[in-house]
Structure 1
Amino acid sequence: MAPRPPKKRRREDYPADANLCEHCTAKCCHYFALPIEEPASRRDFDFMRWYLLHDRASVFVDSDTWYLLVHTTCKHLQEDHRCGIYETRPQICRDYTTAECEFEDDWCYEKYFESPEQIDEYADAMFGPQFPDPTLADHHALRSRRPTGLPIAAAH
């Protein structure tokens, strides 16, 4: 019989005065999220599509607020999951508390987009298909057509 994986620890497993950071892998130091305007037009969705064309970016909605989420690790996070510049860390880090952090890893967003195709599908659901004529769809596909080669100058 295979051993059972260890039980995932929850907030209530620790005393109220415990520093949860001492029991975490610094999840908060592996991304940042910035609020963005709620998209109201095809052009707004095209900007979001551009965001998602970049590696390790996603868009989510939480409490009716839209966010750009960038999955990237702080340069000063050390191997032991502690801050390498703790004494001089930015104010945003100083203000952050574990009261509502993702220690338990059980968050769920109203909407979550990881690819430009998902944003296009959502925009189509909101505004109708951008290119209802299937002959136009190939011309305006998500992926650009292969560029033509440069002309070769004829030797004189």
Structure 2
Amino acid sequence: MKRIAVIMFVATFVISGFAQSLKKEEVMIKNLIQTAYLDGTQNIGDMAKIDAGFHPDFRMQVLEKDGSLSNVDLGGWKQMAKDNLEKGILPRPEGKQVSVNILNIDIEKYASSVKMEYILEGKTVYIDYLQLYKFADGWKIVNKTYYTVGD
């Protein structure tokens, strides 16, 4: 009986430590989404934040209306933010900023997938799927696909 109690104590300790570790990784991923994705590309246009949170080999895969697939690399992704800066869309004024509602974060050691609602002016516009890897210097967004709500 004493042996079972010890095994259960150790198992509880291990599971608790694992859960805390996952929670820490989840917080780091949420912070990355806030800084690199929202501040970097959607609300401010901060190129340094984009560079810090997106891997140089990042790709956004776009399903075109004709069923073909196109890719936007990091340079193209940053150019969209730069264009929005030039057009005066960025930085977005208070009340018109993009926010996200994270629906799911799946983490397996050094790989993660995030599903989230992209919300603009109170309406869900896209469902975004981000894939991340954890590198020596932290989590980086490596891929994005999305669904346009209403399609």
Decide: shared fold, TM above 0.5: no
Give the strand-richer structure, 1 or 2. 2
Q: What's the TM-score, normalizing by structure 2?
A: 0.24
Q: TM-score, length-normalised on structure 1?
A: 0.23
Please tell me whether Structure 1 or Structure 2 has the larger radius of gyration of its CA atoms: 1
| Structure with the bigger percentage of helix | 2
Q: Which has the higher contact order (CA 8 A, sep 6+)?
A: 1
